[in-house]
């Protein structure tokens, strides 16, 4: 089976998932992001001409503020023309199909699509459909993947921990419904993290999750023991319906990250969260704002990582 | 019309024939096998040298999409597909729009099918009105109109008391009840097997216990009511085991599997291939193997095509939003042959699963080529390879997981009631 993300030379054609990408490509993206970090933080030269004359269409079939904004900033810093479309409130509600929407935007000479959709596989469908000169970036599809989030998480880990090969990483929360978790797991295992743990009650874990290369824990105290990195996941409030969880209170008691539980990890462990956070549900405020939290740097790094992805796809080769 | 099918390899499971025998047909019936009857004057000679002659295929599940879904397929297109696939008898599920719950609808369908003068069509009537699982249909009236069995198709029947009464009522008239086992709560929103692939792709999943729980309920109710039960589209290893045990205990039970499920697994979904979005879901390799074993040991009686033509637009959507199903009438024979080859079986045992056994499920005296039987015949070239391409399929539905694949075995002639209704013509 051909990896639909790579062209016939093995180069990145689309970014749809972190699964199946060679470690070399991931490292290239992280290195490139590091080179952009200075640029994006410097006040003087904000713009680079790498995407000059290119049109980037942010098509969001699902609401998002943070992801869309960081993609927009990243594209603008690369001098691209950016068009934002919140399809949730336009075409789809008029009955237009996903691919019709895409065809229309292609007719407007889009060079790159940044896509978010509530259905797993939406970005793959678009990537398969568009002409070969058009690039697709998956900004989150259903429960499947959110590769730029995972890449910025890897960037953050590398920034604070330098190496991947000696780490113990725990991902805590709603793994079952999380595209972020899936992409994190694939990225971590590809980059050589020797121990990736997932911590969740059984109702929030997909079957055979261990086949993704993780160790499963149901007890948070055991799972956090001696970890270097804690990656928290957002808990959607609808999980309390449909008999997945009894209450937010009970969830916080057993799976929320508190200062006390954080003490079980290594003293220099970092705490991450993809946002938006539910304070008091999956994470205690004093942890979210504490000295081990790197949640805000994650957001900053997100821009550099997205610049790296876009420039690799469009300007790369 | 006197027809002689000459020099073919005749394979007839019922009569345990596998050898070179001529077949003689007069007035729509087989009148002799081997040497011609006295005074037989050949009016039409079919040279079957190098070809295999078998009873016409009998398909237990072919959606013709009429009434109601003519944009997906029509009776004309699908009946043409049937005979092009060597299928001479088919049962169609009641999930049309409206469902087959009124005698008038069934009569209309039978009438339309008869007028086309191709395969024999046996409608399966709705077990409950509108397939809603609430009120019983007029089964006796529907049977008079031509229904051969009663089913819920893929619609849920949640209320076990309604299910029990439907079985009791059907048993009163010795009607057979066909059910696909799936617990609708456990299957809610699910689009793929609860396994490695669904986990990797983030697809909502249907666990195996959705099948076994529903199956256990059905088997218990069949025991309690004495109804003739047919289990449709079994998909899991555990499901096959339950059917096997129930049969060993003497329950009057039959079971079918779709031709897709004896060749494919969840792995074939790859990167969200919507052609592999099927009902029930493709399960894992262990299940695939168990289905093949179940066919060989007789736990599963028949292979059906589960023909479900879907229009192209309905597949060009994200996996879970796409419409489930695949076209299958024209692939039933080659997929049976593929299974025979891969499992090292005798051809006659494979033919049995698409002719004689499904005839038994339907309670028909067909699926064989005994002297005196209706001359429904399929003549195929066992050696030819062909690539499955949309343009080669007569069905209006072009979606199948096998698109682009090479399959072995191509139908050359199809006869229904002694009339040549299909002859292969090579497209140049």
Domain boundaries, given as residue ranges, for chain A: 23-145+299-314, 147-295
Q: In this predicted structure, what is the pLDDT of residue B310? A: 95
Burial A95-134 (b: 16+ CB within 10 A, else e): eeebbebbeebbeeebbbbbbbbbbbbbbbbbbbebeeeb
Which sequence positions of B are flagged as catalytic?
A: 306
- Are B198 and A206 an interchain contact pair (Cβ–Cβ within 8 Å)? yes
Q: What is the pTM of this model?
A: 0.94
Q: In this predicted structure, what is the pLDDT of residue A15? A: 98
Chain A residues inside the 8 Å CB shell of B321: 119
Chain B residues inside the 8 Å CB shell of A209: 199
Any chain B CB within 8 A of the CB of A143? yes
Cα distance between residue B317 and residue A292, in whole Å: 43
- Are A125 and B272 an interchain contact pair (Cβ–Cβ within 8 Å)? yes
Which class is A147-295 in CATH?
alpha beta
User: Is residue A91 pLDDT above 60, yes or no?
Assistant: no
- Are B201 and A207 an interchain contact pair (Cβ–Cβ within 8 Å)? no
Nearest chain B residue to A144 by CA distance is: B202
Q: In this predicted structure, what is the pLDDT of residue A317? A: 42
For residue A178, give the nearest of A198, A151, A158 by alpha carbon.
A198
Burial A32-61 (b: 16+ CB within 10 A, else e): bbbebbebbeeeeeeebebbeebbbbbbbb
Which class is A23-145+299-314 in CATH?
alpha beta
User: Is residue A94 pLDDT above 90, yes or no?
Assistant: no
Q: At what angle do helices A23-41 and A179-190 cross, to 10 degrees?
A: 110
Sign of CA dihedral A20, A21, A26, A32: negative
Any chain B CB within 8 A of the CB of A142? yes
For B192, the enclosing helix (H) or strand (E) is strand B192-193
pLDDT digit string, tens, across residues B282-305: 999 999 999 999 999 999 999 999
pLDDT digit string, tens, across residues A133-174: 999 999 999 999 999 999 999 999 999 999 999 999 999 999
Name the token pair of A271.
């705490």
- Are B203 and A143 an interchain contact pair (Cβ–Cβ within 8 Å)? yes
Q: Which chain B residues in 204-263 lie under 8 Å from chain A, judged by CB atoms? A: 204-205, 207
Query: Which DSSP symbol is given to B36?
Result: P
Fold match flag (A23-145+299-314 vs A147-295): yes
- Are A1 and B198 an interchain contact pair (Cβ–Cβ within 8 Å)? no
Task: Report whether B121 contacts B94 (CB < 8 A).
Answer: no
Cα distance between residue A25 and residue A43, in whole Å: 29
Chain B residues inside the 8 Å CB shell of A102: none
Any chain A CB within 8 A of the CB of B196? yes
Domains of chain B, earliest start first: 55-362 (3.20.20.140)
How many residues would you count in chain A?
Answer: 317
Identify the segments of chain B with pLDDT beneath 50. 428
What are the residue ranges of helices labelled H in chain A?
23-41, 66-77, 98-107, 122-129, 147-161, 179-190, 220-224, 248-255, 259-262, 285-288, 295-314
User: Is residue A43 pLDDT above 90, yes or no?
Assistant: no
Interface test with B, best of A6, A103, A125, A129 (most B CBs within 10 A): A125
What percentage of chain A exceeds 90 in pLDDT? 84
Chain A residues inside the 8 Å CB shell of B186: none
Q: How far is A212 from chain B (nearest CA, A)?
A: 8
- Are B201 and A121 an interchain contact pair (Cβ–Cβ within 8 Å)? yes
């Amino acid at each position: 089976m051909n990896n639909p993300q790579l062209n016939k030379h093995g180069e990145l054609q689309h970014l749809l998932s972190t699964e199946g990408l060679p470690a070399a490509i991931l490292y290239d993206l992280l290195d490139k992001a590091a080179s952009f970090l200075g640029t994006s933080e410097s006040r003087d030269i904000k713009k680079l001409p790498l995407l000059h004359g290119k049109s980037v269409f942010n098509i969001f079939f699902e609401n998002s503020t943070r992801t869309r904004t960081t993609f927009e900033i990243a594209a603008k810093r690369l001098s691209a023309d950016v068009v934002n479309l919140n399809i949730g409130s336009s075409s789809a509600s008029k009955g237009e199909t996903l691919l019709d929407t895409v065809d229309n935007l292609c007719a407007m000479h889009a060079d790159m699509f940044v896509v978010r959709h509530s259905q797993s596989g939406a970005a793959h469908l678009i990537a398969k459909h568009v002409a070969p000169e058009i690039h697709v970036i998956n900004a989150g599809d259903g429960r499947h993947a959110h590769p730029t989030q995972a890449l910025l998480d890897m960037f953050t880990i590398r920034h604070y921990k330098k190496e991947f090969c000696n780490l113990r990483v725990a991902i805590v929360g709603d793994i079952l419904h999380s595209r972020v978790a899936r992409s994190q797991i694939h990225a971590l295992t590809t980059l050589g993290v020797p121990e990736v743990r997932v911590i969740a009650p059984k109702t929030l874990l997909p079957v055979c999750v261990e086949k993704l290369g993780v160790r499963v824990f149901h007890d948070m105290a055991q799972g956090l023991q001696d970890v270097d990195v804690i990656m928290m996941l957002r808990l959607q409030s609808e999980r309390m319906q449909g008999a997945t969880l009894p209450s937010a209170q009970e969830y916080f008691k057993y799976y929320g990250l508190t200062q006390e539980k954080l003490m079980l990890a290594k003293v220099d462990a970092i705490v991450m969260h993809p946002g938006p956070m539910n304070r008091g549900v999956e994470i205690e405020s004093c942890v979210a704002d504490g000295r081990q939290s790197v949640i805000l740097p994650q957001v900053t790094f997100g821009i550099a990582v997205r610049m790296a992805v876009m420039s690799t796809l469009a300007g790369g080769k | 019309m006197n027809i002689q099918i000459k020099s073919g390899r005749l394979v007839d499971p019922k009569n345990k024939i596998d050898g070179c025998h001529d077949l003689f047909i007069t007035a729509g019936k087989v009148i002799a096998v081997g040497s011609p009857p006295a005074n037989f004057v050949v009016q039409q000679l079919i040279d079957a040298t190098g070809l295999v002659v078998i009873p016409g295929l009998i398909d237990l599940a072919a959606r013709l999409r009429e009434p109601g879904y003519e944009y997906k397929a029509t009776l004309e297109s699908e009946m043409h597909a049937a005979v092009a696939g060597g299928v001479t008898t088919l049962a169609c599920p009641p999930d049309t729009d409206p469902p087959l719950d009124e005698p008038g609808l069934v009569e209309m369908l039978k009438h339309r099918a008869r007028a086309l003068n191709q395969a024999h069509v046996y409608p399966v009537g709705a077990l409950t009105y509108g397939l809603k699982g609430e009120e019983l249909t007029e089964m006796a009236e529907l049977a008079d109109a031509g229904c051969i069995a009663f089913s819920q198709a893929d619609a849920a029947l949640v209320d076990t008391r309604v299910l029990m009464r439907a079985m009791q009522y059907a048993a009163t008239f010795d009607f057979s009840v066909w059910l696909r086992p799936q617990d609708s709560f456990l299957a809610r929103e699910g689009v793929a097997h609860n396994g490695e692939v669904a986990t990797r792709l983030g697809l909502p999943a249907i666990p195996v216990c959705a099948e076994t729980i529903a199956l256990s309920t059905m088997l218990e109710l069949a025991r309690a009511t004495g109804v003739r039960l047919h289990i449709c589209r079994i998909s899991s290893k555990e499901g096959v085991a339950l059917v096997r045990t129930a049969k060993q205990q003497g329950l009057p039970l039959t079971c079918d599997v779709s031709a897709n499920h004896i060749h494919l697994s969840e792995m074939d979904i790859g990167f969200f291939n919507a052609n592999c979005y099927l009902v029930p879901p493709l399960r894992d390799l262990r299940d695939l193997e168990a289905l093949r074993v179940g066919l060989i040991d007789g736990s599963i009686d028949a292979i059906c095509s589960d023909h479900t033509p879907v229009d192209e637009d309905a597949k060009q959507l994200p996996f879970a939003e796409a419409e489930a199903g695949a076209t299958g009438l024209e692939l039933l024979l080659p997929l049976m042959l593929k299974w025979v080859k891969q499992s090292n079986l005798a051809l006659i045992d494979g033919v049995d699963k698409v002719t004689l056994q499904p005839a038994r499920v339907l309670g028909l005296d067909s699926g064989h080529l005994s002297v005196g039987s209706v001359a429904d015949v399929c003549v195929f070239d066992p050696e030819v390879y062909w690539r499955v391409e949309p343009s080669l399929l007569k069905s209006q539905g072009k979606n199948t997981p096998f698109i682009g694949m090479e399959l072995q075995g191509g139908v050359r002639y199809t006869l229904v009631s002694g009339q040549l209704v299909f002859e292969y013509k090579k497209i140049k």
